Structure 1
Amino acid sequence: MDEQTQKKTLTSLENHARGVVEGKAKEEAGRVLIRMKDRFSTLFNHDSESMPRVWTGKEDVRSITKTAHSAALKLLSVMAAIRLDDNVDNIENTLCSALLDTKGIASVTKWGSTTSDPLASSTWDKVPPNKILITPVQCKILWRQYRAETEYCVTQAISAQEANKRSNNWLPPPWAIVALIILGFNEFLTLLRNPLYVGIIFVGYLMLKALWVQLDISGEFSHGVLPGIISLSTKFIPTIMSLLKKLAEEGQAAANNNPQSTNASASKSLPNTSPPLLTASSTVTSSANGTKEE
């Protein structure tokens, strides 16, 4: 094969490869919205170790959302044009400045004047028209649709965080605590005058605490209010009967141990009382013997 034929063959192969790549790129450009949403979902719902993210309330939803949006926007900038010749363009910077850094079509400069929308065009700077897959106007429309379809995920994450905070915080709001302190001042003085009430309240607290642990109220209500009420209604009476049975068994065990301790103490006291009795009897015997001798 001579050199001219070789060059012709290589050129033909290169053109064929370019055609295949451009065809695949155009095909994927039509599905760029799906790819953007998949990219957002992957970064938003998974942590850095690719584990499913649990919204416990400690995560920074705004920062995570911004990172996921930036990755999706970078994917859009990559799919906006064909780059087989390593030409430098500013598509990514234009999209970031227009869609992430500003909130409107027009941006206000530091001099107070407005600049035109950089996406209000059908061509990209430094990109040939035949290499454009997605125009700036189409990018803007796609981004708007993407934001509308991913906003639900962000709202769900924020709602999950708020629900988690409410489930972990059983205290009333601060104004309710202040109202309880002010309105319950007379009851507090009553407790100080009658300490017996304190003991009754303490016993009641212990009973409620035992019921709380036995019924696992926080775990039951974590699945919802109605399922928690239904589950507790079926477990309430058996749990109370179990607690009363345990109290009765402990009381009976204490009663059985009490006579044993009494008998043990009595048996220990007998050796201590026997020497005085023996001493008294020996004294009486000696006095009787002395009388007989006289």
Structure 2
Amino acid sequence: MTRLFSPRKTTLLFVVRDKTKTPLEYLESILREDIQKIWNAVSKPESHKDTPLSEFFNVEVTALSSFEEKEDLFKEQVAQLRQRFFNSISPGGLAGDRLGVVPAAGFSFSAQQIWRVIIENKDLDLPAHKVMVATVRCEEIANEKLHHLSSNEDWLALEEAVQCGPVSGFGRRLSSILETYFQKTFYFDHGVRNAKRKQLESKALDFVHPAYLNLLGHFCFKALEDFKSRLEQMLNKGEGFAASICTSTESCMLEFDQGCANVAIKQANWDASKVKEKLCRDINAHALSVHDAKLSELMVSYEKQLGQSLCEPVESLFDNAGRGTWASIRKLLTRETEIAVSEFSAAISSFELDQSTVDKMLQDLKDYARNVVEKKAREEAGKILIRMKDRFSTVFSHDNDSMPRVWTGKEDIKTITKDACTASEFDVCYGCHSVGRETR
């Protein structure tokens, strides 16, 4: 039965208060001499009459600084000493040599198993027994924690809340549940405790992973909606398009990262990069959609501006067609096109487009302006016969000063008629030639 009743030493810890300049080694030497004298004076069985104190006791001496003079150092030393009591069976603890001890939580089960082994084998292997007790109790505690996680009202409420939107502190709540396992199994065998902890972590993480993915989905959706809202607000305030995209994207991605960090579980190594990549794609897709829509709106707006600034003036010039009509139309076209191109260039500068795209859009705007004039010219060409009649009537009924003729019966009708025909034919021929030339 040597393994069952192997001797263990008791630790005698002497704490010297208010340490002075006297070296601790000197004080310890004097203290050990006094302790040895006491030991020598203690009555002992004959077989242990000459047994030294060190066979039964581990004597340790430590010192604490003065609380009055060095309060911070005193508290630090006390905290370190306290840990030796709290973690007494850990390496460095007051009972660190007792590798075969069983925590109080497993004592009842341990005692039953010890007695069963003694009856069956007449012997006992304490290290193996310790592992067996640790395996049973750690697994029981792990199962208890997992059941608590799946049935706990707070967790069920949290899981339900996750379905509706982001929940703060998600990661911290689960981490705290796993930490309680470590606290309850701290004094059991290190290897068994860690193995069962890993199993518990794996099962718990599998259990909460769907809720975690739901949270990431909520963060992704919220970030995208915030991006849309902020972008619209900035554009409505007159902010530059490219700058608005950049600022809104950075802000929303930062919020997404903070949300992910808030629900992160330190025991898990889950990667949210794929969800983040999807968010980036969605943001870029929306930005491109708004980009194209805004450019299209600008183009339509300036095309409308050109239409208004060209149609009526060109029509008026055609109504009073003459030798200088097309020169006036070309001058009007050049002026209005330059104004529109200049304003349009300034409007799209905030989009930070490449030069080839800018050049194409400006050329499209110029082509539109030219097409407006060409379309109007073609419309006027279709009214040639009407204009011939109008021109003939105007010249026939007005004198050279454009005053209405006063018919006295002495006028040369033949000459007047010939001049009116010549004028109408000349203007029409000039107009047809000009339309054909200018629209080619």
TM-score by length of 2: 0.23
Q: Which has the larger radius of gyration?
A: 2
TM-score by length of 1: 0.31
Structure number with the bigger relative contact order (C-alpha 8 A, sep ≥ 6) is 1
